[in-house]
Amino acid sequence: MNYYLSIDYGGTSTKAIIFDEQGTEISSSSFATKRQEVEAGFYEVDLGETWEAISHTIRESIRLSSLPASAIKAVACIGHGKGLYLLDHQQQEFCSGILSADSRASQLAEKFESRVRQIWDLTHQHIVAPQAPVLLRWLKDHRPNCYQQIGAVLSAKDYVRFKLTGLVQQEIGDASGNHWINFQTGTYDPAITEFFGIVEMDSALPPLVDYKQIVGGVSQEAAYQTGLLEGTPVVGGLFDIDACALGSGVLDSDTFSLIAGTWNINTYPSKVPASIDSGLMNSYFPTGEYLVEASSPTSAGNLDAILKMLMMEEMQHLKDREESIYDTLEVFLQETDATFSNILYCPFLYGSNVGQPAEACFFGLTTQSSKSEMIRAVYEGIVFAHKQHLEQLIQSLDHEPSVLRLSGGGTNSDAWMQMFADILGVPVEVPKVKELGGLGGAIACHQAVTNASLSETMENMVAIEKRFMPGDKDHYLEKYKVYQRVMLAMKPVWKELVALRRATL
Cα–chain center distance at 248: 15
Nearest to 105 by CA among 57, 137, 75, 63: 137
pLDDT category, 466, cuts 50, 70, 90? very high
Instruction: Give the CA distances from residue 4 to residues 52, 65, 395, 439, in Å, rounded to whole numbers and listed in that order.
Output: 21, 11, 39, 9
Q: Is the pLDDT of residue 363 over 70?
A: yes
Residue-level pLDDT at 504 = 66
Dist CA 239 CA 444 (whole Å) = 12
The CA-based angle 11-460-415, given to 5 degrees, is 50
pLDDT of 322 strictly over 90: no
- How far is residue 348's CA from residue 387's CA, in Å, rounded to a whole number? 15
Please compute the mean of the pLDDT values over residues 62-78 and round it to a whole number. Answer: 98
Distance CA 362, CA 380 (A): 12
pLDDT band at residue 149 using 50, 70 and 90 as cut-offs? very high
Look at residue 492 and tell me whether its pLDDT is greater than 90: no
Q: Are 16 and 58 in contact (CB under 8 A)?
A: yes
455 sits in the region (left: phi over 0; alpha: psi -120 to 50; else beta) called alpha
CA 310 from chain center: how many Å?
25
Q: Which domains does the chain have, with CATH numbers?
A: 3-236 (3.30.420.40), 301-427+476-503 (3.30.420.40)
Spatial neighbors of 419 by CB under 8 A, at least 6 apart, are 333, 379, 380, 383, 476
Residues 6+ apart with CB under 8 A from 286: 173, 211, 212, 238, 242, 246, 444, 454
Average pLDDT over residues 244-253: 93
Report the alpha-carbon angle 362-473-338, nearest 5: 40
Whole-angstrom CA distances from 448 to 75, 87, 422 are: 10, 28, 40
For the CA atoms of 476, 482, 485, 489, the dihedral, rounded to the nearest 10 degrees, stands at: -140
Tens digits of residue pLDDT in 404-444: 999 888 888 999 999 999 999 999 999 999 899 999 999 99
The reported pTM is: 0.88
On the question of pLDDT at 386 being above 80, the answer is: yes
pLDDT at 505 over 80: no
Q: What share of the chain is helix, strand, coil (3-state, %, to 5)?
A: 45, 20, 35
Predicted local distance difference test score (pLDDT) of residue 350: 84
pLDDT tens sequence across 41-62: 899 999 999 999 999 999 999 9
Which of 469, 406, 468, 402 is CA-nearest to residue 433? 406
Q: What is the spatial distance between Cα 435 and Cα 13, in angstroms, rounded to a whole number?
A: 11
> What is the pLDDT at residue 320?
85
Does residue 498 carry a pLDDT above 80?
Answer: no
% of the chain beyond a pLDDT of 90: 80
By the 10 Å C-beta count (0-12 exposed, 13-18 middle, 19+ buried), 400 is classed as middle
CB-CB contact of 209 with 215 (8 Å) = yes
N residues, the chain: 505
CB atoms inside a 10 Å sphere around CB 232? 21
- Separation CA 199–CA 415 (nearest Å): 50
d(CA 268, CA 397): 9
CB-based contacts of 20, cutoff 8 Å, min separation 6:
1, 2, 3, 4, 26
Q: Which amino acid is at 350?
A: Y
Q: How far apart, in whole angstroms, are the C-alpha atoms of residue 201 and residue 29?
A: 36
